[in-house]
Structure 1
């Protein structure tokens, strides 16, 4: 387990200059504008395609961010948190664009249907819906992985990165689908809905778990459980703990976590054999 800290100087200046309530609102507005601009800037040299894909569990909206060159690349599937994709779409799209700029084909899934979105208004609703729907979502993600592997733009390497609920979902998919080559989990862990006899699957890929030690939503122990389980299966697993960070990262913590994610996928997903041309 590694512990990291520190603060970006620009973030520090923003935080110290926004003491008044109105100034804080202005700062967050500026940040939102910057993130939206950042996505557009990143999109200038990558290809973006939106599709609706049929799966065994119903249609799923997929927004793909392809690396700029025409070569074949490892793929990364991004799984959103329990509040759905739309609320933090700019954040997820920025991360997808960063992956594409780093040489990956990134696939952003909106795995919620209309009913799921309607059941995401409160924490209690989201937890109940997760318990009810996790198996269907896992099968849906695996169907998307099948399509990714059939696409001649991709190599044999597929990684998953999940945020909060998406991290629990990613861990569930990775434990059932041995085609997943690497897993990054942001403040997630082992699904609480799995029965005790199924808590130790036969397979887990290399894992990077990123967690704050002040997370009151998903305690750090939940992430450690996932790391311990992965190691018990003989697989490599690293846990990075951010002192003082809660549920959801910002500033220098978010930047560090993003860089670690890119480095992890570069190490785990590059060098795989190319899929045979169709």
Structure 2
């Protein structure tokens, strides 16, 4: 009914050593603001891997534009780009805007948009990683474990390409919402608490899941470390590579520790795994 498509490709901007596309329209949603993403692509002779960044904020607040935690998202972006990987910072609807599974549909639509525009962006659709913290880590783990679940795709924006990703970094993300029956998790599920199992990556792991790096504070009282421990164990049971790093004494969002070493470790993991590529985007 509209004289314009449901998604748009923005004009490029030049920045030192990279090309930047800001406020790309991933999907227009009736009654909601459009979903946007920003992407920085390093200068390279051929297509580069791309990393999807998902912010935290208890599914209640946060934005792809500003730091949502006690560390700089810009620092993560710059180190990712310096390592030769594109960095796409993605929006998703918050729990006050829409209930589950809208958030997963939103981030899947961003992955499809990136693959659809891969040639124009200079990224490789067969080498897509995801990295998220807290609520964003929850969604990152789900992207890594539900790439072949058609019933969880959603229909907004670009359709056609698979939303499957090929590597994931999850910082202190919930993996089993059946253990989180109140607070932000209850707000996310809204009037569908029966979907708690569907909303946890722990219950989707299979042999097709993407390799994961899970980093979690041992003293996290917001999202207990058992979420990452159980997810790592499930991956191991299905033969999926998963590295678990438990940070002694660290609280949620690495409180009480320096997060920079974990930034470097995340970049190194994604660079190593995505270097291999994937035949089917």
Q: Same fold (TM over 0.5)?
A: yes
- Distance in 2 of aligned mates of 1:165 and 1:194: 16
- Distance in 2 of aligned mates of 1:92 and 1:61: 17
- What SS does the corresponding residue of 2:197 show, helix, strand or coil? coil
The CA deviation string for residues 97-140 of structure 1, in whole angstroms up to 9 with x for no partner, is 2111110111001213xxx38x4xxxxxxxxx7xx634212122
- Trace 1:15-94 onto structure 2 (pairs within 5 A): 44-55=16-27, 59-82=34-57, 83-85=61-63, 88=67, 91-94=72-75
Instruction: State the match for 1:23 in structure 2.
Output: none
- Distance in 1 of aligned mates of 2:28 and 2:146: 16
Shift of residue 247 of structure 1?
A: 0.9
- Trace 1:88-103 onto structure 2 (pairs within 5 A): 88=67, 91-103=72-84
- Distance in 2 of aligned mates of 1:75 and 1:177: 16
The CA deviation string for residues 200-231 of structure 1, in whole angstroms up to 9 with x for no partner, is 44332101000111111111111111111222
Give ranges in structure 2 of 5+ residues lacking alignment: 1-14, 149-163, 178-195
Give yes or no for the alignment of 1:226 onto 2:231.
yes
Taking only aligned residues, the RMSD between alpha carbons, in angstroms, comes to 2.8
Shift of residue 93 of structure 1?
A: 2.5
Cα gap change, 1:68 to 1:250, in 2 (>3 Å): farther
- What SS does the corresponding residue of 1:234 show, helix, strand or coil? coil
- Trace 1:240-259 onto structure 2 (pairs within 5 A): 240-249=245-254, 253-259=258-264
Instruction: State the match for 1:199 in structure 2.
Output: 203
C-alpha contact (below 8 Å) 2:132/2:170 kept by paired residues: yes
TM-score by length of 2: 0.69
Give yes or no for the alignment of 1:263 onto 2:268.
yes
- Trace 1:114-263 onto structure 2 (pairs within 5 A): 116=94, 119=96, 133-150=99-116, 151-152=118-119, 153-155=122-124, 156-178=126-148, 179-192=164-177, 193-195=196-198, 199-202=203-206, 203-249=208-254, 253-263=258-268
Shift of residue 55 of structure 1?
A: 2.9
C-alpha contact (below 8 Å) 1:77/1:109 kept by paired residues: yes
- Distance in 1 of aligned mates of 2:167 and 2:239: 14
The CA deviation string for residues 185-206 of structure 1, in whole angstroms up to 9 with x for no partner, is 0011314122599814433210
- Distance in 1 of aligned mates of 2:204 and 2:17: 42
- Distance in 1 of aligned mates of 2:274 and 2:142: 19
- Distance in 2 of aligned mates of 1:169 and 1:68: 29
- What SS does the corresponding residue of 2:72 show, helix, strand or coil? helix
Greater C-alpha Rg:
1
C-alpha contact (below 8 Å) 1:154/1:274 kept by paired residues: no
